[in-house]
Structure 1
């Protein structure tokens, strides 16, 4: 009789430890470095702009090195649509380096996107 209670106790301990271990893994940030999640596939959100209560425009950087690209996505509760695809910002993403604008030709889409995203953030807009 005692061994069945011991087995039941161990079962409860193991089942309770699974969510606790997953929570600790998520909180430590190791999930992305282990190849799972967005960080493992070279995916990084560059900026976002809320257009309405449930509509956003999101700039996402995908890939690494020379294969980096930016995707401008329209996001609604029903779907995600690709609005534009462009080469990634040369050098660091906007906001990571103060002189990033000097590396991009004037009038390019990237400069305009960065200007508008940072302008919205400066006015208290929704910049993630």
Structure 2
């Protein structure tokens, strides 16, 4: 069973990940990502916690793109473990240039949710 309000909380955490105000904060990501975090990116890269934090810290803020997520669905996998799926859209200069389907596995660790796995799959769907 998933705790009431889990969907809203996890959506908020996913939104922090793409928010320019927090995206480049190693402290934010250190608290959101589990120590054994693994990511398969839409471009085919594989990242662990430290490599994600390093990549985001080094990201060129001037090349920032507007990002948005929608269509969130939550599926319980086990006690304290959920799969969150959604669609991601990236825009540069107001023009959509990348869409992907996203899946995140979140685990309740103590009293907070941590991201343990994330994958982006490119799509043409609108």
Q: TM-score, normalised by structure 1?
A: 0.33
Higher helix share: 1
Query: Which has the larger share of strand?
Result: 2
Higher RCO (CA < 8 A, seq sep 6+): 2
